[in-house]
A = this chain, B = another copy of it.
Amino acid sequence: MTASPSASSDMASSRIFETLKQDLIRGRFAAGEKLAISALKDHYRVGLSPLREALNRLAAYGLLEQVNQRGFRVPAMELEELDDIAGLRAQLECMALTQAFQAGDSEWESQVLAAHHRLRRADEHPEQVEEWEQAHLRFHRALLASCGSHWLLRFIEQLHDQFDRYRRLAPPNPAVRKALDRQHGELVELALSRDIRAARALLDDHIRLSHSVARGCCESPASDDDT
């Protein structure tokens, strides 16, 4: 482990929080599923207290729902919500992009370039899915990092996690991946040239494309008992 600095120094509740968060985003649990706390306890080899604290944090974050005296459940996945998440994500990220372009200095440019380079490297190993996912997340983070608004970045991160829950349902598609990657490259160029208008349009397209892919995959399970 080179990249993650504070993995072993964190307390148990933080570790299990991160692990559970990733597993939820990766779709390891079925949507709507009720979490059996003692089963989680055994599976993740953690005590009850750290586990419950992590579950509470995840509920506050929106990756779990807490029902009064009935424990925790994985939120249902609905087409309507995906549209909401994607639409708002596009708006907020365009907002942040504008501010990032206006405030970004050369250090920001360097970080964007570096993150893009790592993303391209990760692209060379399609079998290492999680590596690419992390590089992808970090690229988008780097692009908006200089926007100056702590809270805007926080909300965007939250929406990104929510969006990924849906996006990750879709099977890998090389053609789409290729198109998205071209857009990443173009975004870097537009960042360096500070072309706000073009970059906004491109980022909007970028999210729209991911959205439509996720949408196609989200529809099918819902229409099972509906058509």
Q: Give residues in A with beta carbon < 8 Å to B.
A: 6, 9-11, 13-14, 49, 52-54, 56-62, 68-69, 81, 84-85, 87-88, 91, 95, 148-152, 154-155, 159, 162
Contacts and interface: CB of A to CB of B under 8 A. Distances in A.
Contact of A56 (B10, B13, B81, B84): B13
Copies of this chain present in the complex amount to 2
Does more than half of chain A's interface fall in helix, strand or loop, or is it mixed?
helix
26 contacts: A9-B68, A10-B68, A11-B69, A14-B68, A49-B49, A49-B52, A52-B53, A53-B56, A56-B57, A57-B57, A57-B60, A58-B60, A60-B60, A60-B61, A81-B150, A84-B148, A84-B149, A84-B151, A84-B152, A85-B151, A87-B149, A88-B152, A91-B95, A151-B159, A151-B162, A155-B155
Contacts of A13: 56
Contacts of A84: 148-152
A165 to B, nearest CB: 13
Contacts of A56: 13, 53-54, 56-57, 60
Contacts of A154: 62
